[in-house]
């Protein structure tokens, strides 16, 4: 369990550390609130201490990426074991880096939904023991909500705004009206884009590519696509006749699997695990198709928000977050859509798009400010592997049947 760092801190000192040159009188009156955030929803063990001014005082992360790359995918019991082995060290490292004693943390925030059940269990059990030790309030965090609000730690993005969350496990479009107030416009009907990219990368044996052997599937696809010609491989856009904001990527994967099988037959003598000569072209076509699918659904969401007056007339914003938001090509395609519709495009840096403790701690800060979801007796709290985000308006979007005008998405 976490040790108390041997650091003598007082409220005024922490306030000046967080707020720099802000008035000492204000700092003396009330030290800023600090939150310890803990994240174990999937395969990264992460923790961070964040000040309400948005300053990251300390952070730490243990990635399981290499282990799961070798296994060909995330194995939940393995992920759980690795979380258990590393969580205490990661939290201790974040606390030590912050220089803040545990008894001066205002609250502890932890991801409890959604995610892998075995992974969520580790984080929640550890956190409940920790708050019993230090007698601090507990803030349960919705993982997707945390992704959506991270941008507000970095820049001024006011509610309401449109958010596109895209990762290895999730894909959704929602209007963020408040800290815990979301309108869900569409979501994936099967698998998420990151999961699809990873599976296609495995089918292409990209781990055997000398430049891609240490990359995730999505990273490898993006890397090879830079030197590929997408026009050499024809892939149909998923759900092109569905006039809604839902996503589907499993059909795309099935298409690509058939293309790969055909190419393997055409390249006589290719052995299992060997790379196709056209692998860069396939990567480029896959990446473009994913980008177009995301862009058209996002475009329809923008049109629906304008029709329903969900976004402000002045400075409407689209926030894109989640691991797939690190893909520069996808962001450039989305930029074409936002510029055509008068929205700003806001995206956290890649480090904060993937799972991390900072976003969980910041979500705790947001909830402290709003006075929402702060538990002083959390013994009855449970983790939730599947948890919707907000009020589902996808049927209303479908009934609106808004057609998306043509945009030239070539970049």
Give the pLDDT band of residue 25 (cuts 50, 70, 90).
very low
**Do 11-150+354-380 and 161-347+391-400 fold alike per CATH?**
yes
User: pTM, whole model, 2 decimals?
Assistant: 0.89
Structure tokens at 44: 């990264």
136 has pLDDT over 70: yes
Q: What is the pLDDT of residues 28-83, one digit of tens each?
A: 346 789 999 999 999 899 999 999 999 999 999 999 878 877 777 788 999 999 99
Q: What is the pLDDT of residues 179-220, one digit of tens each?
A: 999 999 999 999 999 999 999 999 999 999 999 988 989 999
Residue appearing with tokens 């991390």: 356
For residue 280, CA distances in Å to 100, 223, 275, 288, 348 come to 48, 9, 10, 12, 28
Give the pLDDT band of residue 1 (cuts 50, 70, 90).
low
Q: What is the pLDDT of residues 148-190, one digit of tens each?
A: 999 999 999 999 999 999 998 889 999 999 999 999 999 999 9
**pLDDT value at position 402?**
97
Exposed, middle or buried, 380 (CB in 10 Å: 0-12/13-18/19+)?
A: exposed
26 has pLDDT over 50: no
Mention the CATH class of domain 161-347+391-400.
Answer: alpha beta
Give the pLDDT band of residue 410 (cuts 50, 70, 90).
low
CATH of 11-150+354-380, one of 3.30.1180.10, 3.30.1360.30, 3.30.420.40, 3.40.50.2300: 3.30.420.40
Domain regions of the chain by residue span = 11-150+354-380, 161-347+391-400
Residue appearing with tokens 């999730």: 170
DSSP class of residue 211? Answer: T
User: Cα(386)–Cα(390) distance, rounded to whole angstroms?
Assistant: 13
């Amino acid at each position: 369990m976490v040790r108390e760092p041997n650091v003598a801190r007082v409220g005024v000192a922490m306030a000046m550390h967080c707020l720099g040159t802000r008035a000492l009188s204000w700092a003396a009156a009330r030290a800023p609130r600090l939150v310890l955030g803990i994240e174990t929803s999937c395969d990264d063990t992460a923790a961070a201490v964040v000040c309400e001014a948005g300053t990251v005082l300390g952070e730490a992360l243990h990635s399981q990426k290499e282990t799961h790359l070798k296994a060909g995918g995330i194995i939940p019991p393995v992920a759980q074991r690795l979380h258990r082995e590393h969580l205490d060290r990661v939290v201790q490292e974040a606390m030590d880096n912050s220089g803040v004693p545990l008894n001066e943390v205002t609250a502890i925030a932890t991801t409890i939904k959604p995610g892998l059940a075995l992974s969520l269990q580790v984080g929640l059990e550890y956190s409940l023991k920790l708050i019993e030790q230090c007698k601090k309030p507990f803030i349960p965090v919705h993982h997707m909500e945390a992704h959506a609000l991270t941008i507000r730690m970095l820049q001024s993005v006011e509610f309401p705004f449109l958010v596109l969350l895209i990762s290895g496990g999730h894909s959704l479009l929602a209007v963020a009206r408040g800290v815990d107030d979301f309108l869900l416009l569409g979501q994936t009907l099967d698998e998420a884009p990151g999961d699809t990219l990873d599976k296609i990368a495995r089918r292409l044996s990209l781990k055997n590519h000398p430049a891609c052997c240490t990359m995730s599937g999505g990273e490898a696809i993006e890397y090879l696509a830079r030197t590929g010609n997408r026009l050499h491989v024809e892939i149909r856009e998923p759900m092109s006749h569905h006039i809604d904001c839902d996503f589907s990527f499993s059909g795309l994967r099935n298409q690509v699997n058939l293309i790969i099988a055909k190419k393997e037959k055409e390249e006589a003598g290719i052995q299992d695990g060997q790379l196709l000569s056209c692998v860069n072209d396939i990567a480029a076509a896959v990446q473009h198709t994913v980008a177009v699918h995301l862009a058209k659904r996002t475009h329809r969401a923008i049109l629906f928000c304008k029709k329903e007056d969900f976004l402000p007339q002045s400075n409407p914003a689209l926030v894109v977050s989640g691991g797939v938001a690190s893909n520069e090509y996808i962001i450039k395609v989305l930029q074409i859509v936002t510029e055509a519709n008068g929205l700003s495009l806001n995206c956290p840096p890649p480090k904060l798009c993937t799972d991390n403790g900072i976003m969980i701690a910041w979500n705790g800060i947001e909830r402290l400010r709003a006075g929402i979801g702060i538990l002083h007796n959390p013994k009855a709290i449970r983790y939730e592997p599947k948890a919707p985000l907000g009020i589902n308006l996808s049927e209303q979007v479908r009934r609106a049947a808004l057609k998306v005008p043509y945009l030239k998405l070539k970049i």
